[in-house]
Amino acid sequence: MVFCNVREIHWGWPLAIVSSVMYVKVFADAKLYGDAGLNVFYAAVGCWGWYQWLRGHRADGSALHVAKLSRRGLALLVLACAVAWPATGWFLATYTNTDVPWWDGFTTGLSVVAQFLLGRKFIENWLLWAVVNTVSIALYAYKGLYPTVGLYVVLLVMSFVGFAAWRAKLPR
């Protein structure tokens, strides 16, 4: 899936849907409700992302291509992350029995933002995924989800590979 994203192959989206559905139960069993819910979100947003990559366009009507966020876009990115983390963490702390609401909220909230950026082909998605994947590695190790730790180490490396590949595609 991530390999497809790096290469801008739209088939990564249906692969994301399948893998997300598979992870819902894994995370729910580990009481990582934010991550379980996030995977429900990933499955649903996979359809949107697939459509964006097949038929999406920029505001000027041009085809969707790899792009950088504007200064305003970067400010909105920071604001979205600053709202998503505490809102998700609060929800998990208030309404679930998770023992890690704030860390689960961090990875969940920022993943939602990163997924939006990926769907719209903004290069900053890869940097946000690197942050999410780093925290996820520690979180999943704490929860004893060692095969998932291994997966997220690979995803962390792929975050940097994706960033480099997409940076090469940016207009000069």
121 pLDDT band (50/70/90 cuts)? very high
Task: Tell whether the model's pLDDT for residue 69 goes beyond 90.
Answer: yes
Question: Taking the model in full, what pTM does it have?
Answer: 0.90
Tokens of 12: 């990564």
In angstroms, the CA 83 to CA 15 distance is 29
What is the signed CA dihedral for 90, 94, 97, 101, rounded to 10 degrees? Answer: 10
Q: Which of 116, 110, 123, 153 is nearest to 6 (CA)?
A: 123
Question: 164: burial class by Cβ within 10 Å (0-12, 13-18, 19+)?
Answer: exposed
103 pLDDT tier (thresholds 50, 70, 90): very high
Count of domains for the chain:
1
Can you spell out the DSSP letters for 84-101?
A: HHHHHHHHHHHHS--S-H
For residue 43, the enclosing domain spans: 2-169
